[in-house]
Structure 1
Amino acid sequence: MKKRGQEPVKENHERWLITYADLITLLLIFFVVMYTLSKIDANKYYAIASSLAKTMGGSQSIMESGGPSLVPGADESKELESYLDKAEEKNMEKIQKQIQEYVDKQGLAGKVTVSIEERGIVVSFQDVVLFPLGVAELNPSSRDIVDKVGAILRQTPNYIRVEGHTDNLPISTSRFPSNWELSLARSASVVHRLIEFSDIPPDRLSATGYGEYRPRKPNDSEANRQQNRRVDIVVLRTKFQEVEPEAVNRPVESKQSGKE
Protein backbone atom coordinates (compact mmCIF):
# COMPACT_ATOMS: atom_id res chain seq x y z
CA MET A 1 0.00 0.00 0.00
CA LYS A 2 1.21 3.44 -0.90
CA LYS A 3 1.87 5.78 1.91
CA ARG A 4 -0.42 8.71 2.12
CA GLY A 5 1.08 11.82 0.53
CA GLN A 6 3.86 9.97 -1.39
CA GLU A 7 4.20 10.96 -5.04
CA PRO A 8 4.07 8.07 -7.47
CA VAL A 9 7.45 7.31 -9.22
CA LYS A 10 7.26 8.21 -12.88
CA GLU A 11 9.03 5.95 -15.37
CA ASN A 12 11.62 7.80 -17.50
CA HIS A 13 10.86 7.13 -21.17
CA GLU A 14 13.58 9.47 -22.47
CA ARG A 15 16.69 7.53 -21.45
CA TRP A 16 17.27 6.68 -25.11
CA LEU A 17 18.22 10.32 -25.62
CA ILE A 18 21.38 9.77 -23.59
CA THR A 19 22.47 6.89 -25.81
CA TYR A 20 21.53 8.88 -28.92
CA ALA A 21 23.54 11.90 -27.75
CA ASP A 22 26.59 9.69 -27.09
CA LEU A 23 26.28 8.19 -30.57
CA ILE A 24 26.10 11.63 -32.21
CA THR A 25 29.15 12.76 -30.24
CA LEU A 26 31.17 9.73 -31.33
CA LEU A 27 30.16 10.24 -34.95
CA LEU A 28 31.23 13.87 -34.76
CA ILE A 29 34.61 12.87 -33.34
CA PHE A 30 35.00 10.22 -36.05
CA PHE A 31 34.37 12.63 -38.91
CA VAL A 32 36.62 15.30 -37.40
CA VAL A 33 39.47 12.78 -37.22
CA MET A 34 38.78 11.53 -40.76
CA TYR A 35 38.83 15.08 -42.08
CA THR A 36 42.11 15.74 -40.34
CA LEU A 37 43.68 12.56 -41.74
CA SER A 38 42.58 13.50 -45.24
CA LYS A 39 44.72 16.65 -44.99
CA ILE A 40 47.78 14.65 -43.85
CA ASP A 41 48.91 17.51 -41.69
CA ALA A 42 50.80 15.97 -38.79
CA ASN A 43 50.83 19.09 -36.62
CA LYS A 44 47.10 19.69 -37.03
CA TYR A 45 46.34 16.03 -36.36
CA TYR A 46 48.40 16.03 -33.20
CA ALA A 47 46.68 19.17 -31.87
CA ILE A 48 43.15 17.89 -32.54
CA ALA A 49 43.87 14.39 -31.24
CA SER A 50 45.43 15.82 -28.09
CA SER A 51 42.43 18.09 -27.51
CA LEU A 52 39.98 15.24 -28.02
CA ALA A 53 41.94 12.97 -25.72
CA LYS A 54 41.87 15.54 -22.92
CA THR A 55 38.17 16.28 -23.47
CA MET A 56 37.25 12.60 -23.26
CA GLY A 57 39.38 12.11 -20.17
CA GLY A 58 41.94 9.96 -21.90
CA SER A 59 45.62 10.31 -22.63
CA GLN A 60 47.83 10.82 -25.65
CA SER A 61 48.97 7.21 -25.67
CA ILE A 62 47.31 6.68 -29.03
CA MET A 63 49.89 9.03 -30.54
CA GLU A 64 52.78 7.61 -28.54
CA SER A 65 52.08 3.97 -29.34
CA GLY A 66 53.18 1.99 -32.34
CA GLY A 67 50.32 3.02 -34.60
CA PRO A 68 50.72 4.06 -38.23
CA SER A 69 52.89 7.13 -38.68
CA LEU A 70 51.96 10.12 -40.79
CA VAL A 71 54.61 10.44 -43.48
CA PRO A 72 54.26 13.25 -46.03
CA GLY A 73 53.58 11.76 -49.45
CA ALA A 74 51.96 12.53 -52.74
CA ASP A 75 48.89 14.03 -51.02
CA GLU A 76 50.74 16.35 -48.66
CA SER A 77 49.50 19.89 -48.44
CA LYS A 78 50.58 22.54 -50.89
CA GLU A 79 52.00 24.55 -48.03
CA LEU A 80 54.33 21.73 -47.06
CA GLU A 81 55.37 21.14 -50.67
CA SER A 82 56.14 24.81 -51.09
CA TYR A 83 58.19 24.86 -47.90
CA LEU A 84 60.23 21.80 -48.93
CA ASP A 85 60.81 23.17 -52.43
CA LYS A 86 62.08 26.47 -51.03
CA ALA A 87 64.35 24.68 -48.55
CA GLU A 88 65.80 22.49 -51.31
CA GLU A 89 66.31 25.47 -53.61
CA LYS A 90 68.12 27.35 -50.85
CA ASN A 91 70.40 24.36 -50.21
CA MET A 92 71.19 24.01 -53.92
CA GLU A 93 72.06 27.70 -54.19
CA LYS A 94 74.40 27.26 -51.23
CA ILE A 95 76.13 24.28 -52.86
CA GLN A 96 76.39 26.08 -56.21
CA LYS A 97 78.02 29.06 -54.52
CA GLN A 98 80.56 26.90 -52.68
CA ILE A 99 81.57 25.01 -55.83
CA GLN A 100 81.76 28.21 -57.89
CA GLU A 101 84.03 29.82 -55.29
CA TYR A 102 86.34 26.79 -55.48
CA VAL A 103 86.34 26.84 -59.30
CA ASP A 104 87.22 30.55 -59.36
CA LYS A 105 89.93 30.09 -56.75
CA GLN A 106 91.57 27.29 -58.75
CA GLY A 107 91.40 29.22 -62.01
CA LEU A 108 89.10 26.66 -63.64
CA ALA A 109 86.52 29.12 -64.95
CA GLY A 110 85.61 28.24 -68.52
CA LYS A 111 86.67 24.62 -68.06
CA VAL A 112 84.33 23.86 -65.16
CA THR A 113 80.84 25.36 -65.05
CA VAL A 114 78.26 25.21 -62.27
CA SER A 115 74.59 25.87 -62.97
CA ILE A 116 71.16 25.19 -61.53
CA GLU A 117 68.77 23.63 -64.02
CA GLU A 118 65.26 22.23 -63.72
CA ARG A 119 66.65 18.79 -62.86
CA GLY A 120 69.09 20.15 -60.27
CA ILE A 121 72.71 21.31 -59.92
CA VAL A 122 74.95 20.50 -62.89
CA VAL A 123 78.73 20.62 -62.43
CA SER A 124 80.22 20.21 -65.91
CA PHE A 125 83.90 19.34 -66.46
CA GLN A 126 85.54 19.54 -69.86
CA ASP A 127 87.34 16.29 -70.50
CA VAL A 128 90.78 17.95 -70.54
CA VAL A 129 90.30 18.83 -66.86
CA LEU A 130 89.87 15.20 -65.84
CA PHE A 131 91.13 12.85 -68.57
CA PRO A 132 93.74 12.57 -71.29
CA LEU A 133 92.33 12.21 -74.79
CA GLY A 134 90.75 8.79 -75.31
CA VAL A 135 91.53 7.66 -71.73
CA ALA A 136 89.11 6.85 -68.87
CA GLU A 137 91.55 7.08 -65.93
CA LEU A 138 91.58 10.35 -64.02
CA ASN A 139 94.62 12.60 -64.31
CA PRO A 140 96.65 12.69 -61.07
CA SER A 141 96.10 16.47 -60.98
CA SER A 142 92.34 16.09 -61.43
CA ARG A 143 91.78 13.77 -58.50
CA ASP A 144 92.03 16.59 -55.98
CA ILE A 145 89.45 18.56 -57.96
CA VAL A 146 86.96 15.68 -57.84
CA ASP A 147 87.68 15.18 -54.14
CA LYS A 148 87.04 18.83 -53.26
CA VAL A 149 83.81 18.94 -55.27
CA GLY A 150 82.74 15.63 -53.72
CA ALA A 151 83.31 16.99 -50.22
CA ILE A 152 80.88 19.81 -50.99
CA LEU A 153 78.31 17.46 -52.54
CA ARG A 154 78.47 15.14 -49.53
CA GLN A 155 76.36 17.59 -47.50
CA THR A 156 73.27 17.00 -49.66
CA PRO A 157 71.08 13.87 -49.29
CA ASN A 158 69.98 14.03 -52.94
CA TYR A 159 70.81 11.44 -55.57
CA ILE A 160 73.86 12.23 -57.70
CA ARG A 161 74.18 11.12 -61.31
CA VAL A 162 77.51 11.23 -63.16
CA GLU A 163 77.10 11.53 -66.94
CA GLY A 164 79.83 10.94 -69.52
CA HIS A 165 79.74 12.65 -72.94
CA THR A 166 81.99 12.57 -76.03
CA ASP A 167 82.18 14.28 -79.39
CA ASN A 168 81.28 12.51 -82.64
CA LEU A 169 84.83 11.53 -83.62
CA PRO A 170 84.81 7.73 -83.80
CA ILE A 171 86.95 5.65 -81.49
CA SER A 172 87.72 1.98 -81.90
CA THR A 173 90.22 0.37 -79.54
CA SER A 174 90.44 -2.95 -77.77
CA ARG A 175 89.03 -1.37 -74.63
CA PHE A 176 86.60 1.14 -76.15
CA PRO A 177 84.87 -0.18 -79.28
CA SER A 178 82.81 3.03 -79.44
CA ASN A 179 82.15 6.33 -77.71
CA TRP A 180 79.47 4.59 -75.60
CA GLU A 181 82.07 2.59 -73.71
CA LEU A 182 84.44 5.55 -73.32
CA SER A 183 81.75 7.88 -71.93
CA LEU A 184 80.48 5.25 -69.49
CA ALA A 185 83.98 4.30 -68.31
CA ARG A 186 84.76 7.94 -67.58
CA SER A 187 81.61 8.47 -65.55
CA ALA A 188 82.30 5.25 -63.65
CA SER A 189 85.82 6.47 -62.80
CA VAL A 190 84.39 9.63 -61.26
CA VAL A 191 81.79 7.62 -59.31
CA HIS A 192 84.48 5.34 -57.84
CA ARG A 193 86.49 8.38 -56.82
CA LEU A 194 83.50 9.97 -55.09
CA ILE A 195 82.82 6.76 -53.16
CA GLU A 196 86.39 6.06 -52.09
CA PHE A 197 87.68 9.53 -51.28
CA SER A 198 84.60 11.71 -50.68
CA ASP A 199 82.68 9.12 -48.63
CA ILE A 200 79.48 9.62 -50.61
CA PRO A 201 77.20 6.57 -50.06
CA PRO A 202 77.17 4.35 -53.18
CA ASP A 203 73.37 4.06 -53.12
CA ARG A 204 73.14 7.80 -53.85
CA LEU A 205 75.33 7.56 -56.94
CA SER A 206 74.80 6.36 -60.48
CA ALA A 207 76.93 6.41 -63.65
CA THR A 208 75.70 6.72 -67.20
CA GLY A 209 77.24 7.25 -70.62
CA TYR A 210 75.61 9.17 -73.46
CA GLY A 211 78.41 8.87 -75.98
CA GLU A 212 78.12 11.50 -78.69
CA TYR A 213 74.33 11.72 -78.60
CA ARG A 214 73.75 14.57 -76.11
CA PRO A 215 75.97 17.32 -77.53
CA ARG A 216 75.82 20.87 -76.25
CA LYS A 217 76.77 22.28 -79.63
CA PRO A 218 77.03 20.96 -83.20
CA ASN A 219 80.19 18.91 -83.74
CA ASP A 220 81.29 21.11 -86.64
CA SER A 221 84.43 22.64 -85.13
CA GLU A 222 87.16 21.72 -82.71
CA ALA A 223 85.98 24.38 -80.25
CA ASN A 224 82.47 22.90 -80.23
CA ARG A 225 83.73 19.34 -79.97
CA GLN A 226 85.81 20.39 -76.98
CA GLN A 227 82.67 21.57 -75.17
CA ASN A 228 80.84 18.36 -76.03
CA ARG A 229 83.59 16.20 -74.50
CA ARG A 230 82.65 16.51 -70.86
CA VAL A 231 81.62 14.81 -67.63
CA ASP A 232 78.59 16.21 -65.78
CA ILE A 233 77.89 15.65 -62.09
CA VAL A 234 74.16 16.21 -61.57
CA VAL A 235 72.57 16.63 -58.13
CA LEU A 236 68.97 15.65 -58.81
CA ARG A 237 66.06 17.53 -57.31
CA THR A 238 63.80 15.48 -55.05
CA LYS A 239 60.97 15.37 -57.59
CA PHE A 240 63.27 13.67 -60.10
CA GLN A 241 64.40 11.12 -57.52
CA GLU A 242 60.94 9.55 -57.56
CA VAL A 243 61.75 7.80 -60.85
CA GLU A 244 64.95 6.32 -59.45
CA PRO A 245 64.75 2.65 -58.38
CA GLU A 246 64.58 2.15 -54.64
CA ALA A 247 67.15 0.03 -52.85
CA VAL A 248 65.88 -3.27 -51.46
CA ASN A 249 66.84 -3.84 -47.85
CA ARG A 250 68.28 -7.29 -47.48
CA PRO A 251 69.12 -9.07 -44.22
CA VAL A 252 72.82 -9.14 -43.39
CA GLU A 253 74.21 -12.57 -44.13
CA SER A 254 76.21 -14.32 -41.47
CA LYS A 255 79.95 -14.31 -42.12
CA GLN A 256 80.19 -17.81 -40.70
CA SER A 257 78.84 -20.31 -43.17
CA GLY A 258 76.61 -23.09 -41.97
CA LYS A 259 75.12 -21.08 -39.08
CA GLU A 260 71.58 -19.75 -38.99
Structure 2
Amino acid sequence: MPRRWTEKASHDNKERWLLTYSDLITLLMIFFVVMYSISSINAQKMAALASSLAQAFIGSPAPGLFEEGGLPSLVPGVAPAPGGQGTEGQGVEGTELARVKVELQQYIRQEGLEGQINLENEERGLVVSMADMILFPKGSAELTPEAQALLRRVGQALTRLPNYLRVEGHTDNLPIHTPLFPSNWELSTARATNVVKVLVNDAGISPGRLSATGYGEYRPVVPNDSEANMARNRRVDIVILKEAYNVTEPHH
Protein backbone atom coordinates (compact mmCIF):
# COMPACT_ATOMS: atom_id res chain seq x y z
CA MET A 1 0.00 0.00 0.00
CA PRO A 2 2.69 2.56 0.85
CA ARG A 3 4.50 1.64 -2.34
CA ARG A 4 1.47 2.24 -4.55
CA TRP A 5 0.89 5.66 -2.91
CA THR A 6 4.52 6.60 -3.54
CA GLU A 7 4.27 5.63 -7.19
CA LYS A 8 1.09 7.72 -7.62
CA ALA A 9 2.65 10.79 -5.94
CA SER A 10 5.75 10.47 -8.12
CA HIS A 11 3.59 10.30 -11.23
CA ASP A 12 1.68 13.47 -10.19
CA ASN A 13 4.92 15.39 -9.56
CA LYS A 14 6.21 14.64 -13.05
CA GLU A 15 3.11 16.19 -14.64
CA ARG A 16 2.98 19.39 -12.55
CA TRP A 17 5.08 21.17 -15.17
CA LEU A 18 2.00 21.08 -17.38
CA LEU A 19 0.24 23.48 -15.01
CA THR A 20 3.14 25.91 -15.13
CA TYR A 21 3.34 25.61 -18.91
CA SER A 22 -0.38 26.26 -19.36
CA ASP A 23 -0.17 29.31 -17.06
CA LEU A 24 2.75 30.64 -19.10
CA ILE A 25 0.88 30.15 -22.37
CA THR A 26 -2.16 31.95 -20.95
CA LEU A 27 -0.04 34.88 -19.77
CA LEU A 28 1.68 35.13 -23.16
CA MET A 29 -1.67 35.14 -24.93
CA ILE A 30 -2.94 37.92 -22.66
CA PHE A 31 0.29 39.88 -23.20
CA PHE A 32 0.01 39.72 -26.99
CA VAL A 33 -3.69 40.62 -26.91
CA VAL A 34 -2.87 43.70 -24.85
CA MET A 35 0.03 44.64 -27.14
CA TYR A 36 -2.16 44.25 -30.20
CA SER A 37 -4.92 46.40 -28.74
CA ILE A 38 -2.41 49.15 -27.82
CA SER A 39 -0.82 49.11 -31.27
CA SER A 40 -4.24 49.36 -32.94
CA ILE A 41 -5.17 52.43 -30.88
CA ASN A 42 -1.87 54.13 -31.63
CA ALA A 43 -2.22 53.47 -35.35
CA GLN A 44 -5.61 55.16 -35.34
CA LYS A 45 -4.26 58.12 -33.38
CA MET A 46 -1.32 58.54 -35.74
CA ALA A 47 -3.61 58.38 -38.76
CA ALA A 48 -5.95 60.94 -37.21
CA LEU A 49 -2.99 63.19 -36.41
CA ALA A 50 -1.77 62.97 -40.01
CA SER A 51 -5.24 63.90 -41.27
CA SER A 52 -5.51 66.83 -38.84
CA LEU A 53 -2.12 68.19 -39.89
CA ALA A 54 -3.08 67.90 -43.54
CA GLN A 55 -6.28 69.85 -42.88
CA ALA A 56 -4.34 72.52 -40.99
CA PHE A 57 -1.75 73.05 -43.76
CA ILE A 58 -3.63 72.42 -47.00
CA GLY A 59 -7.27 72.67 -45.95
CA SER A 60 -8.16 69.07 -46.85
CA PRO A 61 -7.49 65.61 -45.45
CA ALA A 62 -4.42 63.68 -46.49
CA PRO A 63 -5.14 61.49 -49.54
CA GLY A 64 -5.80 57.87 -48.72
CA LEU A 65 -6.69 58.48 -45.06
CA PHE A 66 -10.16 57.87 -43.66
CA GLU A 67 -11.84 57.22 -46.96
CA GLU A 68 -14.63 55.52 -45.02
CA GLY A 69 -15.02 58.17 -42.34
CA GLY A 70 -13.02 60.66 -40.30
CA LEU A 71 -11.71 60.87 -36.76
CA PRO A 72 -11.70 63.92 -34.48
CA SER A 73 -8.84 66.39 -34.82
CA LEU A 74 -5.86 65.67 -32.56
CA VAL A 75 -3.98 68.93 -33.22
CA PRO A 76 -3.69 70.76 -29.86
CA GLY A 77 -5.71 73.97 -29.80
CA VAL A 78 -7.58 73.17 -33.01
CA ALA A 79 -11.08 71.82 -32.67
CA PRO A 80 -13.92 71.43 -35.16
CA ALA A 81 -16.10 74.50 -35.55
CA PRO A 82 -19.46 74.45 -33.76
CA GLY A 83 -21.87 72.44 -35.88
CA GLY A 84 -18.79 71.29 -37.78
CA GLN A 85 -18.84 70.70 -41.49
CA GLY A 86 -16.50 67.73 -41.49
CA THR A 87 -14.02 66.93 -44.20
CA GLU A 88 -16.11 68.39 -47.01
CA GLY A 89 -16.54 71.67 -45.13
CA GLN A 90 -12.78 71.96 -44.68
CA GLY A 91 -12.33 71.60 -48.43
CA VAL A 92 -14.94 74.27 -49.19
CA GLU A 93 -13.32 76.65 -46.71
CA GLY A 94 -9.88 76.08 -48.24
CA THR A 95 -11.28 76.82 -51.70
CA GLU A 96 -12.88 80.06 -50.50
CA LEU A 97 -9.68 81.25 -48.79
CA ALA A 98 -7.73 80.45 -51.96
CA ARG A 99 -10.25 82.45 -54.01
CA VAL A 100 -9.90 85.47 -51.73
CA LYS A 101 -6.11 85.23 -51.88
CA VAL A 102 -6.12 85.20 -55.70
CA GLU A 103 -8.54 88.15 -55.80
CA LEU A 104 -6.37 90.19 -53.43
CA GLN A 105 -3.17 89.27 -55.31
CA GLN A 106 -4.70 90.62 -58.52
CA TYR A 107 -5.68 93.85 -56.77
CA ILE A 108 -2.19 94.25 -55.28
CA ARG A 109 -0.59 93.84 -58.72
CA GLN A 110 -3.02 96.25 -60.38
CA GLU A 111 -2.36 98.95 -57.79
CA GLY A 112 1.41 98.37 -57.64
CA LEU A 113 1.30 97.50 -53.93
CA GLU A 114 3.79 94.63 -54.02
CA GLY A 115 6.03 94.83 -50.96
CA GLN A 116 3.50 96.96 -49.09
CA ILE A 117 0.74 94.37 -48.79
CA ASN A 118 1.76 90.76 -48.22
CA LEU A 119 -0.44 87.67 -48.14
CA GLU A 120 0.65 84.69 -46.05
CA ASN A 121 -1.00 81.34 -45.39
CA GLU A 122 -0.51 80.45 -41.75
CA GLU A 123 -1.77 77.59 -39.63
CA ARG A 124 -4.43 79.90 -38.17
CA GLY A 125 -5.59 81.20 -41.56
CA LEU A 126 -4.83 83.78 -44.28
CA VAL A 127 -2.98 86.90 -43.10
CA VAL A 128 -3.26 90.18 -45.04
CA SER A 129 -0.30 92.24 -43.78
CA MET A 130 -0.27 95.96 -44.66
CA ALA A 131 2.66 98.31 -44.06
CA ASP A 132 1.79 101.30 -41.91
CA MET A 133 3.14 103.72 -44.52
CA ILE A 134 0.18 103.06 -46.84
CA LEU A 135 -2.34 103.49 -44.01
CA PHE A 136 -1.24 106.18 -41.55
CA PRO A 137 0.97 109.23 -41.25
CA LYS A 138 3.99 108.63 -39.04
CA GLY A 139 3.06 108.37 -35.36
CA SER A 140 -0.66 108.72 -36.13
CA ALA A 141 -3.66 106.41 -36.02
CA GLU A 142 -5.76 108.45 -38.48
CA LEU A 143 -6.27 106.62 -41.75
CA THR A 144 -5.54 108.58 -44.92
CA PRO A 145 -8.29 108.83 -47.60
CA GLU A 146 -6.23 106.51 -49.81
CA ALA A 147 -6.02 104.00 -46.94
CA GLN A 148 -9.78 104.06 -46.47
CA ALA A 149 -10.30 103.30 -50.16
CA LEU A 150 -7.77 100.46 -49.95
CA LEU A 151 -9.47 98.96 -46.90
CA ARG A 152 -12.89 99.19 -48.56
CA ARG A 153 -11.53 97.18 -51.47
CA VAL A 154 -9.92 94.59 -49.21
CA GLY A 155 -13.08 94.40 -47.11
CA GLN A 156 -15.23 93.72 -50.18
CA ALA A 157 -13.18 90.60 -50.85
CA LEU A 158 -13.74 89.42 -47.27
CA THR A 159 -17.44 90.21 -46.95
CA ARG A 160 -18.61 86.94 -48.47
CA LEU A 161 -16.59 84.83 -46.04
CA PRO A 162 -18.22 83.57 -42.82
CA ASN A 163 -14.88 83.51 -40.98
CA TYR A 164 -13.97 85.62 -37.99
CA LEU A 165 -11.50 88.43 -38.72
CA ARG A 166 -8.88 89.62 -36.24
CA VAL A 167 -7.23 92.98 -36.92
CA GLU A 168 -3.80 93.23 -35.26
CA GLY A 169 -1.80 96.44 -34.87
CA HIS A 170 2.02 96.30 -34.64
CA THR A 171 4.80 98.89 -34.21
CA ASP A 172 8.58 98.95 -34.14
CA ASN A 173 10.47 99.34 -30.86
CA LEU A 174 10.97 103.12 -31.01
CA PRO A 175 9.25 104.54 -27.91
CA ILE A 176 6.40 106.98 -28.32
CA HIS A 177 5.05 109.32 -25.65
CA THR A 178 2.37 111.77 -26.70
CA PRO A 179 -0.88 112.92 -25.08
CA LEU A 180 -2.82 110.59 -27.40
CA PHE A 181 -0.42 107.64 -27.31
CA PRO A 182 1.59 107.24 -24.10
CA SER A 183 3.12 104.04 -25.50
CA ASN A 184 3.16 101.78 -28.53
CA TRP A 185 0.37 99.75 -26.96
CA GLU A 186 -2.09 102.62 -27.40
CA LEU A 187 -0.86 103.46 -30.89
CA SER A 188 -1.12 99.88 -32.19
CA THR A 189 -4.53 99.36 -30.60
CA ALA A 190 -5.92 102.64 -31.98
CA ARG A 191 -4.70 101.75 -35.47
CA ALA A 192 -6.31 98.31 -35.34
CA THR A 193 -9.56 99.81 -34.06
CA ASN A 194 -9.71 102.41 -36.83
CA VAL A 195 -9.19 99.70 -39.45
CA VAL A 196 -12.07 97.74 -37.91
CA LYS A 197 -14.31 100.82 -38.16
CA VAL A 198 -13.69 101.10 -41.89
CA LEU A 199 -14.35 97.39 -42.44
CA VAL A 200 -17.66 97.73 -40.60
CA ASN A 201 -18.88 101.12 -41.84
CA ASP A 202 -17.54 101.15 -45.40
CA ALA A 203 -17.10 97.48 -46.36
CA GLY A 204 -20.24 96.23 -44.60
CA ILE A 205 -18.61 93.44 -42.60
CA SER A 206 -20.64 92.36 -39.57
CA PRO A 207 -19.15 93.76 -36.34
CA GLY A 208 -19.68 90.39 -34.68
CA ARG A 209 -17.05 88.87 -36.95
CA LEU A 210 -14.36 91.41 -36.07
CA SER A 211 -11.96 92.03 -33.20
CA ALA A 212 -9.13 94.54 -32.74
CA THR A 213 -5.86 93.78 -30.96
CA GLY A 214 -2.78 95.92 -30.31
CA TYR A 215 0.54 94.14 -29.84
CA GLY A 216 2.76 97.22 -29.77
CA GLU A 217 6.38 96.32 -30.45
CA TYR A 218 6.18 92.82 -29.00
CA ARG A 219 5.35 90.72 -32.08
CA PRO A 220 8.04 91.73 -34.60
CA VAL A 221 8.47 89.68 -37.76
CA VAL A 222 12.17 90.63 -37.97
CA PRO A 223 14.66 92.16 -35.50
CA ASN A 224 14.43 95.94 -35.13
CA ASP A 225 18.08 96.37 -36.10
CA SER A 226 17.70 98.49 -39.26
CA GLU A 227 15.29 101.04 -40.69
CA ALA A 228 14.17 98.55 -43.33
CA ASN A 229 13.35 95.94 -40.69
CA MET A 230 11.62 98.48 -38.47
CA ALA A 231 9.42 99.45 -41.42
CA ARG A 232 8.45 95.79 -41.86
CA ASN A 233 7.45 95.56 -38.21
CA ARG A 234 5.20 98.63 -38.43
CA ARG A 235 2.13 97.00 -39.88
CA VAL A 236 -1.54 96.10 -39.51
CA ASP A 237 -2.50 92.47 -40.08
CA ILE A 238 -6.00 91.31 -40.99
CA VAL A 239 -6.15 87.65 -40.03
CA ILE A 240 -8.89 85.58 -41.68
CA LEU A 241 -9.20 82.87 -39.06
CA LYS A 242 -10.00 79.35 -40.17
CA GLU A 243 -13.37 78.13 -38.94
CA ALA A 244 -11.60 75.63 -36.69
CA TYR A 245 -10.68 78.64 -34.52
CA ASN A 246 -14.32 79.54 -33.92
CA VAL A 247 -14.01 77.75 -30.58
CA THR A 248 -11.44 80.32 -29.43
CA GLU A 249 -13.44 83.34 -30.58
CA PRO A 250 -16.50 84.69 -28.75
CA HIS A 251 -19.61 83.62 -30.62
CA HIS A 252 -23.31 83.07 -30.05
The TM-score with structure 1 as length reference comes to 0.64
> Is 235-244 or 175-184 further displaced after alignment?
235-244
Give the equivalent residue in structure 2 for 1:129: 134
Query: Is residue 214 of structure 2 the alignment partner of residue 209 of structure 1?
Result: yes
Structure 1 spans left out of the alignment, 5+ residues: 1-71, 248-260
- SS of the aligned residue for 2:205 comes to coil
Give the equivalent residue in structure 1 for 2:93: 88
- Going from structure 1 to structure 2, the CA distance change for 1:149 and 1:74 (only over 3 Å counts) comes to closer
Give the equivalent residue in structure 1 for 2:249: 244
Structure 2 spans left out of the alignment, 5+ residues: 1-79
Note the C-alpha offset of 1:246. Answer: 2.1
The TM-score with structure 2 as length reference comes to 0.66
- SS of the aligned residue for 2:202 comes to helix
Matches within 5 A, 1:49-198: 81-198=86-203
Q: Could you tell me how far apart the structure 1 residues matched to 2:93 and 2:250 are?
A: 21
Number of equivalent positions: 173
- Higher helix proportion (structure 1 or 2): 2
Q: Which deviations, in whole Å up to 9, do the C-alpha atoms of 1:140-187 show, x marking residues without a partner? A: 111110000000100101100100000000000001000000000000
Q: Could you tell me how far apart the structure 1 residues matched to 2:81 and 2:116 are?
A: 40
Give the equivalent residue in structure 1 for 2:238: 233
What residue identity is the alignment partner of 1:158? N
- Going from structure 1 to structure 2, the CA distance change for 1:91 and 1:124 (only over 3 Å counts) comes to same
* RMSD, matched Cα: 1.6
Q: Is the 8 A contact 1:115 1:122 kept in 2?
A: yes
Give the equivalent residue in structure 2 for 1:256: none
- SS of the aligned residue for 1:150 comes to helix
> Is 111-120 or 172-181 further displaced after alignment?
111-120
Q: Could you tell me how far apart the structure 2 residues matched to 1:87 and 1:205 are?
A: 22
Structure with the bigger RCO (C-alpha within 8 Å, sep 6+) is 2
Give the equivalent residue in structure 1 for 2:58: none
Note the C-alpha offset of 1:75. Answer: 9.3
- Going from structure 1 to structure 2, the CA distance change for 1:151 and 1:73 (only over 3 Å counts) comes to closer
- SS of the aligned residue for 1:144 comes to helix
Q: Could you tell me how far apart the structure 2 residues matched to 1:246 and 1:87 are?
A: 21
Q: Which deviations, in whole Å up to 9, do the C-alpha atoms of 1:237-256 show, x marking residues without a partner? A: 01112111124xxxxxxxxx
